[in-house]
């Protein structure tokens, strides 16, 4: 591990919003919420968010807002998927068994933590104190990460690390994996976040 200080400027999701990559439909819709009546506003704040992922390329991440939280959608490469089982022994909860009802819906209780292997959908908030982890997709030695880093996410606040499925590494401040929110596919390229079954 490097001695490089962790960036303490990125304390919360709100402050760390500059870390967010591509802004999705949820952000675009947010200003309209302010003009609603209170009950409409409450409904909109909890509403499911529809996302077009057709432009998302392999190895890229986009972020949308759902219930005030950043939701990451990552299109993982074949190499990133192949690396997942190799780090199981280093993870605190490789099978996503902890708080499963809260953190991992039944359809994501698999090695990839996803419906489609290549598409990861997780809430980008660290399970320690709520910072938003940074993308560290490139494998190998680099600042604040081990020399055999397999690619994933690094929380800048206290150094918790997560793999490319949002699973937390052992012996880190963060106790749990990143949350997989309820979601489902409306088509090959359209996802809905916040809902996982048809009404
Ligand atoms: S908030 Fe992520 S490690 Fe503390």
Does 6 fall in a domain? no
So what's the pLDDT on residue 197? 81
Asked if residues 160 and 148 have their Cβ atoms less than 8 Å apart, the reply is no
Neighbours of 138 (CB within 10 A): 10
Residue 88 lies in a domain: yes
Tell me the three state secondary structure of residue 102: helix
pLDDT tens, position by position, 46-82: 789 999 999 999 999 999 999 999 999 999 999 999 9
Q: Which atom of ligand 1 approaches the CA of 160 most closely?
A: 3
pLDDT digits (tens, 9 = 90+) for 20-56: 433 344 444 444 455 556 666 666 677 899 999 999 9
Helix (H) or strand (E) holding 191: strand 190-193
In a domain, 10, yes or no: no
- What is the CA(43)–ligand 1 centre distance, in A? 30
How far is ligand 1, taken at its centre, from the CA of residue 128, in Å? 5
Is 2 domain-assigned?
A: no
Tens digit of each residue's pLDDT (9 = 90 or more) over 107-135: 999 999 999 999 999 999 999 999 999 99
Domain limits at 133?
A: 15-193
Position in ligand 1 atom list of the atom nearest CA 173: 3
DSSP β-bridge partners for residue 135? 153
How far apart are the C-alpha atoms of 38 and 41, rounded to whole Å?
A: 5
How many domains is the chain partitioned into structurally?
1
CA-nearest residue for atom 1, ligand 1, is 129
CATH code where residue 184 lies: 2.102.10.10
């Amino acid at each position: 591990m490097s001695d490089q200080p962790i960036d303490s400027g990125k304390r919360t999701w709100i402050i760390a919003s500059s870390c967010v990559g591509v802004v999705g439909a949820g952000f675009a819709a947010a200003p309209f919420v302010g003009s609603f009546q209170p009950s409409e506003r409450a409904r909109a704040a909890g509403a499911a968010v529809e996302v077009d992922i057709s432009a998302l390329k392999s190895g890229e991440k986009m972020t949308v807002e759902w219930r005030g939280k950043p939701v990451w959608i990552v299109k993982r490469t074949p190499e990133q998927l192949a690396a997942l089982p190799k780090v199981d022994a280093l993870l605190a909860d490789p099978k996503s068994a902890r708080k499963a009802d809260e953190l991992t819906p039944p359809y994501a209780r698999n090695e990839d933590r996803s419906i489609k292997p290549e598409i990861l959908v997780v809430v980008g908030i660290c399970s320690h104190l709520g910072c938003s982890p940074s993308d560290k997709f490139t494998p190998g030695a680099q600042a604040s990460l081990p020399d055999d880093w397999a690619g994933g996410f690094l929380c800048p606040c206290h150094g918790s690390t997560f793999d490319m499925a949002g699973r937390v590494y052992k012996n880190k401040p963060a106790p749990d994996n990143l949350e997989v929110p309820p979601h489902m596919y409306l088509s090959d390229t359209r996802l809905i976040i916040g809902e996982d079954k048809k009404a």
